[in-house]
Amino acid sequence: MSGETYGSNGLVIFVFGLLFLPILLPLVGASSGWEEDGWLDADWFTKDGRIASGDELGCQGMPTLNLELMPKTTAMECKKYLMDRTNASRWSDYPLSFGIDLSENPNFDSNDHEALFEEGFAVHGLDTNFENTAWHNGTDVPITDSDWWNLGSSGSLEQKITPLDEIIELANQGAMVNLQWQAQIADLKVRTNGELVSWLESQNAWYTTWGEAYSYDFHQSNDVFLISFEDTNKWKITNSGPGIENQNTLAWDVPITHGIEIKNNTVIDVSSGADELNELSIQNKTLTPGWRQDGDLVWITLHSGQDAIITLENDSEIKFSNNSPRYFNNHSWALTISGHHTIDLFKWSMKFDESPLVFTWLVEPQEVEDFSWVLIIIAASAGIGAVTYPRHLLTKDREERGIYESE
C-alpha cells in the first residue's frame, strides 16, 4: 500500500507541477523578438520625404530590453537600430532625442538620464520627473544641458485631450510648445484634434524638433557673430561659431538667426560664397539659412563658419541688434510635436502628409511574440495529465473495493 500511496502522490505533484509551470517560469512566452519598421530604410519616404521636410527621428526603446534596468544598452541598441536604416535629421546621422514613458518606467532616475546622455541622447521627454526642466511653461528657459533631460509636455494632438485655449496662452507667452502624438494605442486608432491641428498649421511659428531645438539653443548661446566693412555699401557678416572653451560634441551644426540694425536703409542682396543667400519671409517656419528684412532690422540665419556679404542701397553704418531673437527667423514662439512609440512611420505620419507641421518621431521596433514549443508541450502534458489522473483514481478505487469485498 505504501508504494501505491507514494506513486499516487507523485502523480499528483507531477500534474500540479505542469499546471503551475507557466507561473513558476514567468519568462516563458514573453517577447524575445522584434520586427523592424520597413519604412525607415525607404529613402524616398524617410530621407527624401519626412526628413527632408524637417522631421527628426529619435528613440523610444527596444521591446526586448528593460529601459530602467539597462538604459545604456537600450540606448546603444536603439541608436544602432535607427542609424542602420536612416539618418536622424537633415543635420546629422546620429539621434539626440529619447522618449521616456513613465507609465512603463516609473522608477527612471538621474543615473538613467546620465546613461542616456553618455550614449549621445541630449533631449529626454516628455515630463520625465527629472529635477531640472526645460519649457514646462512660457518662462522655463533651458540653461544647462541637464535641463533638456526633462522637456515639458504641453498637451496632445489627440481629440478631446488639450484645449486650444491652453496652447494659445503658451504661444502668447513666447514658449516652446511641446505636443505629442501617438497614432495607435494597442488596437485603437487615435483621432486628431482637428481644431488644434488647423490652428497650429495657420500660425507663424518656428516648427522645430527636439534635437534641432537643443542644437539651436547651444549655438545661439555660444556662436560668435562678427561684422566687418567689405566695400562701398557692402558689409561682411560672419558666424565664427563657438569658442574653443564652448565646444559641444553633441549639438548638430544648425544655423541660427542674428539681428542687424540698418537704419533708413534697404538690402539689395545677400550672398554667401558664390551663391545668393535665400531671402526669407515670415512664412518660412522651418530652419534654413537665409535673411529677412523687417523694417530697420535684418534677421540673418547662418551656420557656424559661414559668412555672408550684405549689399545695401545706401552707404551707412550697420550694427548688431541689442535684442537677439530667441527663435529662428525672429518667430515669437516655437512648436515641437513628438510621435511616441513610432513602430510604423507610415501609419504614424499618414494623417500629416500634406501638413507643414514637423515631427520628432521616437521610433522603436514592433514587439513580436515568439512561437513557444515550451507552452505547447506544457499544455499538451497538462491535458494528458488531466485525463490520466482521474482514470488512475478510478482504477485505484476499483482495486480497493475488490480487496475490501474479498475480505
Residues 58 and 187 in one domain: yes
Residues 65 and 83 in one domain: yes
pLDDT the model gives residue 58: 98
pTM of the model: 0.84
Residues 23 and 103 in one domain: no
Among the listed residues 312, 331, 177, 300, the one whose alpha carbon sits nearest the alpha carbon of residue 238:
300
Residue 378 domain flag: yes
Residues 100 and 195 in one domain: yes
Residues 198 and 319 in one domain: no
Residues 97 and 7 in one domain: no
350: cell is 499618414
Residues 363 and 390 in one domain: no
Residues 109 and 119 in one domain: yes
375: cell is 507552452
Instruction: pLDDT band for 248, please (50, 70, 90 cuts).
Output: confident
**pLDDT tens-digit readout, 298-332:** 999 999 999 999 999 998 889 999 888 999 999 99
Tell me the sheet residues that pair with 125.
99, 151
236: cell is 561682411
Residue type, 54: G
Q: HEC states along 132-152? A: CCECCCCCCCCCCHHHHHCEC
Q: Residue 202: pLDDT above 90?
A: yes
Residues 126 and 177 in one domain: yes
**pLDDT tens-digit readout, 123-133:** 999 999 999 99
Residues 325 and 337 in one domain: no
pLDDT the model gives residue 186: 82
Q: Residue 224: pLDDT above 80?
A: yes
Residues 246 and 388 in one domain: no
**pLDDT tens-digit readout, 26-69:** 444 344 588 999 999 999 999 999 999 999 999 999 999 999 99
Q: Would you mind telling me the total number of residues written for the chain in this entry?
A: 407
Q: Residue 6: pLDDT above 70?
A: no
Residue 213 domain flag: no
Residue 215 domain flag: no
Residue 117 domain flag: yes
Residue 11 domain flag: yes
Structural domain of residue 128, as residue ranges?
33-205+332-368
Residue 214 domain flag: no
CA distance 235 to 231: 7
Residue 211 domain flag: no
Residues 183 and 40 in one domain: yes
Residue 83 domain flag: yes
Q: How many domains does the chain fold into? A: 3
- CATH number of the structural domain spanning residue 308: 2.60.40
286: cell is 522651418
